Amino acid sequence: MTRPLVGVIGGVGPLATAYFLGKVVRLTVAERDQDHVDMIVFDHASIPDRTAFIVGASPEDPGPVMADDARRLAAFGADFLVVPCNTAHNFTDQVVAAVDIPVVSIIDETVREAEARVAGLSAVGLLATTGTAASGVYQRALEARGIRCLLPDDADQAVVMSVIYDQVKAGLRGDVDAIRGVADRLVGAGAQAVLLGCTELSVVAEDEGLLADPLYVDSLDVLARATIERAGGAVRAV
């Protein structure tokens, strides 16, 4: 039986894409190569910076580039697409319009996971790029479910961005204690869960064992599990 073929618009960023692929492999119930998920990966690192465009710091629009990537993956035979980048989901409409295959939303999957974990969820904290926060992709998804989205203040957002850009994207180890500090302040403001809404933060979570704490809902981990299930695989219990 032919299984669904996954198309991955990757490279946004490259390390996060590599961690996503690793998660899909490690989380798939498999006893041999042939039990794993079939994927086509376009590790397109030169896609223009998503946050820079959203906040008006760059005129280079990532949307048409991502739409073209989607067409190329669809032409290769992908049955559905995933994008292991939260900020890129500001441009999902352009990707969806470019192809006739589904695009799995990392945003919707992460919000659903948070709801499933916390009974009566009413408020979450969001750790993400300034672009993701400014785009409102998480706020809209949460508001539709009656959940408040709490954002870091300006000083804490600067800390988050430094971990994402100055550390992880630069190939350095992320400061997990700084992330914990921002998360703790969001909990103090009423957050019942903290969404790791940037896949560079997912890298920190993986490296530092952050997901042992049930407070954190990691978007990359959630997307990997959703990808396996949609591709006809089973998720390994860990």
User: Which residues carry out catalysis?
Assistant: 85, 198
Where b means 16+ CB within 10 Å and e means fewer, 74-87 reads: beeebbbbbbbbbb
For the CA atoms of 221, 227, 233, 236, the dihedral, rounded to the nearest 10 degrees, stands at: 0
The Cα–Cα gap between 134 and 74 comes to 30
In the beta sheet, which residues pair with residue 43?
Answer: 10
Q: What is the largest CA-CA distance in the chain?
A: 53
What totals of helices (H) and strands (E) does the chain contain, helices first?
11, 8
